[in-house]
Structure 1
């Protein structure tokens, strides 16, 4: 399948969802909580509905797995060779706290790997997209589009991690890197900051789900980076359990050790 041919349509769908999300973000919205106590707003639901409708218009025969969609049993999902993976809003806490660091995410998964991804940060007016093997792009807040690629790391590594919520495992990992500086970024923008060359490595030693990472991983991989588990294996998708193992996202320089 030639993903570059449908990428413009996917970007349009993500843009439409982002416009709706931004409209709600700028309003006096209400915050509810799901059974796992994670926050959800009308923006999550509206974004999900827009994206699902848009993706079905692009291709009706490709199934969709969305964080805000209905649970789809493994007996059905295990037969999917290719599927859309959607996070209508990644970083809902950033959304509710109005930091601007939240994103709309659409990925295409094929044979367990993200092969195309679109990540839009509505409040920051930034958009990232990429097709693995064909490159990645950034549309900045002025609307200008340019190609992006991971940077060659310098002696002082730029680490994407929260200054306020570093667990002990993450601190230990960062300390092993030697000289470093912390780069702040929320949601899936952590991957994108590496993809555009503004950071070097993102250690995630805490829980995430497949929809949290799929689109941004595709962008990073398309930009020359990689994502691997702590055992040095690729981060895989379409598993029975949608939880990800801990992982390291980086430019291609990092080798598990």
Structure 2
């Protein structure tokens, strides 16, 4: 399969999963369980995961998904290429019914995301990117959640901000920023930057920077690899850096520990 074929498959999987998620979202009551780490798990997480696995199992590559049984690193370490999936990123946003949840699918090669898809079921926005081609797109899906007739249209290309003003949009929570993030903002203000906090749920934080609606995303709190891989691909495709704050190198995937270090998305 060509990369565009993979992106089409990933897009179809994400859109189908989004349709299933909305069928649960529209129910009067949501059935919520809690995992060992006390993060919520809904019927929609599991239904979305099932749909995505049905698409990706047709490919030659193994799947790492938040809702699959986790595979020991002794088996994973030999994988040159694998899928990284979050079937419902932003489960808390889903439960709050604020629409800021996504389906995330990325293809990882040698520890780096090379293709990424993020689908926003409520707004029917589909973000997708090919890192090698340095192209990322945002397409609007029809009301019936069917695949668009055409992907990869030039009019759908997205680009980060290239403004030169001193005002800088920082992606973060308006009310729950930790001290590390507050220190980061304080450092910007010492450089005479006017800081505006831009807030979104789930992997939409990456999309804000990739499409120029914010300038920088400091994530100085825990995330897992499936939370970030698709957004990382989209940001990389438009020329942004996703930098491990410990090593100062690009964030890596399929590590022994799937927990991410703190990272920064910036130009």
Distance (Å, rounded) in 2 between the aligned partners of 1:141 and 1:4: 18
Secondary structure of 2:156's counterpart equals strand
Secondary structure of 1:245's counterpart equals coil
Give the drift of 1:141: 6.3
Distance (Å, rounded) in 2 between the aligned partners of 1:188 and 1:45: 19
Structure 2 unaligned spans of 5+: 143-147
Select between 24-33 and 72-81 the one with higher mean Cα deviation: 24-33
Q: Does 1:168 align with 2:156?
A: no
Partner of 1:159: 170
| TM-score of the pair, normalised by structure 1 | 0.93
Matches within 5 A, 1:120-159: 120-134=119-133, 135-140=135-140, 146-153=156-163, 154-159=165-170
Give the drift of 1:35: 1.1
Give the drift of 1:41: 0.3
Partner of 1:204: 219
Structure 1 unaligned spans of 5+: 253-257
Distance (Å, rounded) in 2 between the aligned partners of 1:218 and 1:201: 16
Contact 1:91/1:187 (CA < 8 Å) preserved in 2?
Answer: yes
Matches within 5 A, 1:69-218: 69-134=68-133, 135-140=135-140, 146-153=156-163, 154-178=165-189, 179-218=194-233
Q: Give the aligned length.
A: 249
Secondary structure of 2:36's counterpart equals coil
Partner of 2:237: 222
Partner of 1:255: none
Partner of 2:38: 37
Give the drift of 1:164: 1.1
Secondary structure of 2:57's counterpart equals helix
Q: Does 1:241 align with 2:257?
A: yes
| TM-score of the pair, normalised by structure 2 | 0.90
Give the drift of 1:195: 0.6
